[in-house]
Structure 1
Amino acid sequence: MRITHRHLEAFRAVHLAGGFTKGAQLLGISQPSISRLVQQLQQAVGFTLFTRIDGRTVPTAEALALHQGVERSFHGLDEVMQHADNIRHHRVGSLRIVSMPALAHAFLPGVLARFMKERPGVVATLQIERTDALPHWITSQQFDIGFANLPVDKPGIQTELFDEAEGVCVMPAAHSLSAKKFIEPKDLRNVPFIHSGPNGRMQASIRHMFEDAGVHCDVQIETPLAAVACRLVEEGAGVTIVDPFTAHLYERQGLVARPFRPELKFNFGVLFPSYAARSTLVRQFMSAVSEERDRILGRAGAPRSRARGTAKPSSRKAVA
């Protein structure tokens, strides 16, 4: 006869309850039913499982040895059920994110850390790559989500505009320009300036803007990383223009940021592999990212993203 889980369940119940009647009550079945199951198990294993001593049901030595193996089996089953519960509530799985430096240095770590605190069984990856290298990682499905400057035009990628991200001028709180509501190129005449941007196009666009205004831009330092530029501002090396997400982090550390005019658009986008379904974990993370974006930019409840095959940048001057 084949031993089933029901046979082991009956044996375990009698052993734990100390009798057939109480064991049957534990399982919610009749006493004859549990007796029949235990009898069938005895026939299958070839030895007696319980005996009567002074009116009590007592497991035999063989039953005690068998019980150890049964408990291991039930413990394994409990682990399986717990794992299934974790999957059902999205507490396990993996989340693979690749991002351009601007968002990976200042914005994403905070969101990801808070997201992971509620999901201790999830394993996450946050890798930093240049925008021009990101499409390869997404189309090869080595990552679930990518953050890059738009436009990205490559088959196999679905893009969404995450935020146009208007540039801001970052300076020390005691700087004379901090009293202004917004900063224009003319305000930065002969002011030590730190050029930053994810690529040469950003720096070139800023230079053209100063040239169009007839203002000499006193570039002291150039760096491709907005976070490095803000650190240099902290050290008194000058002022810089960066995205609002990087600026937000350094405002918390004592710098101030003012809108820059005319507007500079970073055009941050989100990339997904076109031929892979987005998991619930991915959707939940994107919801958390969008909420944090709107909180930082003061746009709570104002959705900004739009899905498309390949996103187009804003019709205004795009510098990303």
Structure 2
Amino acid sequence: MPVVAGRRQALQSMGRTAVMRIKIRQLQAFREVVRNGSITSAAHALGLSQPTVSNLIIGLENELGVTLFQRIHKRLVPTQDARKFFAEVDRTFNSIEQLSSTANRLHTKSSAWLNVVLPQSFVVNIVPQALARLRKSHPGIGVTLEFLPTRDAIDYAASGEWDLTIARLPATHRGLDVKPLMTSEYVCVLPKGHRLVALDSLDPADLRDEVVILLSRRHEERFEIVDSFRKVGVDLIGLVETGALTGACAFTSAGLGVTVLDAIVARGYPDSNLVIRPFRPAIRNQFGLLLEKGGEMSAEAEIFLQAIVETVSDLSRDFEGIHNLEG
């Protein structure tokens, strides 16, 4: 056998042996340490002692031949190798958990289970009502929900593994068809008793001297809001930024400032201390259904989509800034 070929075969054999020595418990410990940032929290999550988790991590590092964590300011920070490894480990465990859920549904004779991706703004108002409709008309259909930004929703829809995907538009992908469904507008949310409540609508100039609670940079719509102020030369005064849409309402209710966000969220937030006014010039969100090209939804997905359609139709009659589904 040639030396190079023999060496390659030996290395491949060593790799297979190393992989076979990795234990599921080591991977579980690694996953929880990355998630929680400490041995203590990981041990609590797994129901193990701290020394046991530490030994599992040490054993995994020995098998892989790499350092997985660095201790920085009393926290265990994953190395670059660990982050890459975690992505695969987490994906594997998620698949196993999904498989377990599927097996359980087969065992319990559940009629159907839907995997659904929706915009985060739907969680406050649209989804609870749509689920109530679904439960009433088809109590045997179960639902797993993910609330994702458009860039992630596109990937989920293109994977073909999700039954229903709705995302904020635009959403472009050569493997997807996009069907517009609905539009909404941004509104200004104020605490009751605020001086600007007297106005019928508000624009950036009205908010010139106000502290504006902004969405964090991971929200695509944040940049449209900021641009609306920049276009008219108004400097935003921002002391609080939040990744949680409902957080913007909660902070406004506490008197920390005012906020501008989607009417879907504002109209669904249950707080009598808040007053909502239209924001001008209008900033519109459009939402659409993402489908694999040539693909079709299951009958159960069609049923849940119809529940969403009916919910939005009701909301559009009750609240300004939320509009009927488009054809």
TM over 0.5: yes
Give 1:141's aligned amino acid.
G
C-alpha spacing 1:201/1:285, structure 2 compared with 1 (3 Å): closer
- Secondary structure at the counterpart of residue 166 of structure 1: strand
Alpha-carbon deviations, 1:62-85, whole Å to 9, x = none? xxxxxxxxxxxxxxxxxxxxxxxx
Residue 201 of structure 1 and its aligned partner are, at CA, apart by 4.7
Instruction: Confirm or deny that 1:227 pairs with 2:227.
Output: no
Residue 169 of structure 1 and its aligned partner are, at CA, apart by 0.6
Alpha-carbon deviations, 1:100-134, whole Å to 9, x = none? 32223443233213322332211111112232111
Instruction: Confirm or deny that 1:304 pairs with 2:321.
Output: no
Residue 158 of structure 1 and its aligned partner are, at CA, apart by 2.1
CA distance in 2, matches of 1:122, 1:94: 6
Tell me, yes or no, if the aligned pair for 2:124 and 2:269 is still in contact at 8 Å: no
Give 1:195's aligned amino acid.
L
Tell me, yes or no, if the aligned pair for 1:100 and 1:148 is still in contact at 8 Å: yes
Instruction: Confirm or deny that 1:274 pairs with 2:293.
Output: yes
Moved more, 177-186 or 269-278: 269-278
2:64 alignment partner in structure 1: none
CA distance in 1, matches of 2:245, 2:133: 23
CA distance in 2, matches of 1:169, 1:179: 13
Instruction: Confirm or deny that 1:262 pairs with 2:275.
Output: no
CA distance in 2, matches of 1:248, 1:299: 10
CA distance in 1, matches of 2:217, 2:129: 21
Whichever of the two has the greater Rg, that structure is: 1
Moved more, 112-121 or 184-193: 112-121
Alpha-carbon deviations, 1:233-267, whole Å to 9, x = none? 12221111111110111255542211100011222
2:180 alignment partner in structure 1: 161
Give 1:104's aligned amino acid.
V
Tell me, yes or no, if the aligned pair for 2:124 and 2:268 is still in contact at 8 Å: no
CA distance in 2, matches of 1:170, 1:297: 18
Instruction: Confirm or deny that 1:171 pairs with 2:190.
Output: yes
CA distance in 2, matches of 1:105, 1:95: 20
* Percent of residue pairs identical: 28
CA distance in 2, matches of 1:122, 1:151: 30
2:133 alignment partner in structure 1: 114
Structure number with the higher helix fraction is 2
Tell me, yes or no, if the aligned pair for 1:137 and 1:143 is still in contact at 8 Å: yes
CA distance in 2, matches of 1:198, 1:289: 28
- Secondary structure at the counterpart of residue 295 of structure 2: coil
CA distance in 1, matches of 2:276, 2:270: 7
CA distance in 1, matches of 2:217, 2:310: 24
2:304 alignment partner in structure 1: 285
Tell me, yes or no, if the aligned pair for 1:197 and 1:242 is still in contact at 8 Å: no
Give 1:262's aligned amino acid.
P
Name which of 233, 246, 249 aligns with 1:214. Answer: 233
Give 1:208's aligned amino acid.
D
CA distance in 2, matches of 1:198, 1:255: 24
TM-score by length of 2: 0.59
C-alpha spacing 1:249/1:198, structure 2 compared with 1 (3 Å): farther
CA distance in 1, matches of 2:292, 2:233: 44
- Secondary structure at the counterpart of residue 152 of structure 1: coil
Give 1:108's aligned amino acid.
V
CA distance in 2, matches of 1:169, 1:138: 32
Residue 193 of structure 1 and its aligned partner are, at CA, apart by 0.6
Instruction: Confirm or deny that 1:250 pairs with 2:269.
Output: yes
- Secondary structure at the counterpart of residue 259 of structure 2: strand
How many residues align? The count is 216
Give 1:304's aligned amino acid.
L
Tell me, yes or no, if the aligned pair for 1:131 and 1:149 is still in contact at 8 Å: yes
Tell me, yes or no, if the aligned pair for 1:194 and 1:229 is still in contact at 8 Å: yes
- Secondary structure at the counterpart of residue 267 of structure 1: strand
CA distance in 1, matches of 2:169, 2:217: 12
Give 2:183's aligned amino acid.
E
Instruction: Confirm or deny that 1:131 pairs with 2:150.
Output: yes
Residue 278 of structure 1 and its aligned partner are, at CA, apart by 1.9
Give 2:131's aligned amino acid.
L
C-alpha spacing 1:225/1:266, structure 2 compared with 1 (3 Å): farther
Give unpaired runs (5+ residues) of structure 2: 1-108
- Secondary structure at the counterpart of residue 167 of structure 1: strand
Tell me, yes or no, if the aligned pair for 1:144 and 1:273 is still in contact at 8 Å: no
- Secondary structure at the counterpart of residue 317 of structure 2: coil
Give 1:245's aligned amino acid.
I
Give 2:184's aligned amino acid.
A
